[in-house]
Amino acid sequence: MDKRYFTNRLNPKIVWIIILCIDLILVFLNKSTFDDGDSILHFLQAHQAAYTPHLFLDMWAKPIFILLAWPFASFGWWGMKLFNTLCIFLSTFFAYQLFIQLKLEQWWAIPLCLGAPAYFLVQSSGLTEPLFTVFLMAIIYLEYRNKTVFALILLSFLPFIRAEGWIIMLMFSTYLIFAKKWTKLPYMAIGTILYGLIGTLFLGDFLFMFHENPYNGVEAKFGSGNIFHYLIQLPYIIGLPIFILLCLGLIRGIQLFITNRMELKEVFLVYGFSVGYILAQSIFWRFGLFHSFGMTRVLIVIIPLLAIIAYRGIEWLAMLVPSKNANYIFAFYLLCILAFPFTKNKMGFKIEKSYKLSTNQMLITNVADWMIGNNLDKKPFYSNAYYLPMVLHKHLETTAECSNFNLLHQRPPEKGSLLIWDSYFAVTDAEISDTFIQNKFEVALLKEFTNADDSKPYTIKVYSVIK
């Protein structure tokens, strides 16, 4: 069967330019921030990095993310979205290149990546997953091109984008041993050594990346859960049609491996990384390790790898029918992938939510408008609902503008400042209840806002500190 059935006469450069233009239009029409918490926090950190330069070495803010996202995010939310759109676009392009290396129909990389709902929607966020994904795909592509040293140097900086970089380093080390390239392992330490030297210079701590790791230890507030949680949630991340192909691709991969028809690189770098990553996240969530919180968006980073496995699935389907009918299988499934996100299925797009501000953010906007209308927006305030300082254009971690509620465990708030408590972020992130504020500090309730119509009621209370 000829695999070049799909757009084999198109000019690649023109196709990629068209895809980028369409993607940018769709992303910038999206009013959603994808996530209410870390998406906003990481944007604000990148946006204000020049104002609070310690963030360039902050392991929660992610040093490499801050370094690369800051020039974009400094222009505002649109710059942040542009940065993450370019990251997803480049990740898809590296997937396309890997398809070529594996002698697969390369154009299928596009629908199998961008057809995954979460992979497309994360472009409209301030999250670190898109940058992690492009680094991961670049590393694997470089290794496929036998540029192992360059791949390892890039890999050495991965933990400074997301903590999962340590997982990838461990899996890559295993691959190098089996590939008899273990002598190149020291290159994997370059990023840590470089940042260690910078940390020594500015923080007086060579191992600050370990000493200040925000994911150390076990905290009950982050919980634990079913070890199959991520497998159950995976169809909601990539969509049901791609999930079905993924399952078929896993079976096909086992067949190819048993019959020695799959090279070592695909075994480890595609199948091994995908399965190993999901298994690691599942174990972390089952035992409540490393502040997992069961967040499903962590799976976004391996979607380009899952796209390769999914293609193995549709390739296998096409092999089961007469070659003259194979193109119908591909055409039918392409239609399913493109149409499914817009169905009312729970595993597709939720247009009314995926493309608009969340109801909680709308409530926060009302709070900001009320503060401006009552000349309260110039007062310093405490808040863990980061969309509020974003709307009010305030800097985080600055006592003159916006402080984190966690500080209230260490010292009392300043007289005249505002405590803007909310029923989710203040409680979950800072473990500060409304009762705690009323009993611990002398405050006056200025205004209460409630989103009573939402399925999950959300309340914001604005307190003024009397003394």
Per-residue b or e along 368-395, where b marks 16 or more CB atoms closer than 10 Å to that residue's CB: bebbeeeebbeebbbbbbbbbbbbbebe
Helix (H) / strand (E) element for 465: namely strand 458-465
Is there a single domain that holds both residue 179 and residue 198?
yes
Asked if the structure places residue 7 within a domain, the reply is no
Helix (H) / strand (E) element for 392: namely helix 387-392
Check: CB of residue 58 under 8 Å from CB of residue 66.
Answer: yes
**DSSP bridge pairs for 448:** 461
Task: Give me 161's structure tokens.
Answer: 């984008």
Q: Are strands 402-403 and 458-465 parallel, antiparallel or unpaired?
A: unpaired
Q: Residue 43 and residue 459: Cα distance in Å, rounded?
A: 24
Strand order in the sheet with 458-465: 402-403, 381-382, 418-422, 458-465, 443-451
Place of tokens 């984190």: 404
Is there a single domain that holds both residue 340 and residue 372?
no
Helix (H) / strand (E) element for 450: namely strand 443-451
Check: CB of residue 162 under 8 Å from CB of residue 129.
Answer: yes
Check: CB of residue 29 under 8 Å from CB of residue 354.
Answer: no
Its domain, for residue 443, covers: 359-465
Asked if the structure places residue 297 within a domain, the reply is yes
Asked if the structure places residue 4 within a domain, the reply is no
Per-residue pLDDT of the chain (467 residues; tens, 9 = 90+): 444 544 556 688 888 999 999 999 999 999 999 988 899 999 999 999 999 999 999 999 999 999 999 999 999 999 999 999 999 999 999 999 999 999 999 999 999 999 999 999 999 999 999 999 999 999 999 999 999 999 999 999 999 999 999 999 999 999 999 999 999 999 999 999 999 999 999 999 999 999 888 877 666 566 778 899 999 999 999 999 999 999 999 999 999 999 999 999 999 999 999 999 999 999 999 988 877 777 899 999 999 999 999 999 999 998 888 877 788 888 888 999 988 888 877 887 776 677 888 889 999 999 999 999 999 999 999 999 999 999 999 999 888 899 999 999 988 999 999 999 999 999 988 899 999 999 999 999 999 999 876 667 899 999 999 97
Q: Residue 79 and residue 62: Cα distance in Å, rounded?
A: 18
Is there a single domain that holds both residue 321 and residue 363?
no
Q: Whole-model pTM?
A: 0.93
Is there a single domain that holds both residue 325 and residue 367?
no
Is there a single domain that holds both residue 406 and residue 345?
no
**DSSP bridge pairs for 369:** none
Task: Give me 279's structure tokens.
Answer: 């298994």
Q: Residue 409 and residue 401: Cα distance in Å, rounded?
A: 19
Is there a single domain that holds both residue 283 and residue 174?
yes
Q: Are strands 381-382 and 458-465 parallel, antiparallel or unpaired?
A: unpaired
Asked if the structure places residue 31 within a domain, the reply is yes
Is there a single domain that holds both residue 254 and residue 390?
no
Is there a single domain that holds both residue 132 and residue 262?
yes
Check: CB of residue 159 under 8 Å from CB of residue 191.
Answer: yes
Is there a single domain that holds both residue 148 and residue 189?
yes
Asked if the structure places residue 404 within a domain, the reply is yes
In total, how many domains does the chain have? 2
Check: CB of residue 385 under 8 Å from CB of residue 426.
Answer: yes
Listing DSSP states for 381-432 in one string gives EE-S-THHHHHHT--TT-TTSEE-GGGGGTSPPPTT-EEEEETTHHHHTS--
Q: Residue 116 and residue 306: Cα distance in Å, rounded?
A: 10
Is there a single domain that holds both residue 170 and residue 77?
yes
* Identity of residue 426: A
Is there a single domain that holds both residue 289 and residue 427?
no
Asked if the structure places residue 312 within a domain, the reply is yes
Neighbouring CB atoms inside 10 A of 91's CB total 27
Task: Give me 113's structure tokens.
Answer: 């990546």
Asked if the structure places residue 373 within a domain, the reply is yes
Q: Can you say how many angstroms the Cα of residue 75 is from the centroid of all Cα atoms in its chain?
A: 21
Per-residue b or e along 18-46, where b marks 16 or more CB atoms closer than 10 Å to that residue's CB: eeeeebbebbeebebbbbbbbbbbbbbbb
Backbone torsions φ then ψ of 263, nearest 5 degrees: -75, 160
Q: Where is the domain boundary, 297, 325, 354?
A: 354
* Identity of residue 47: H
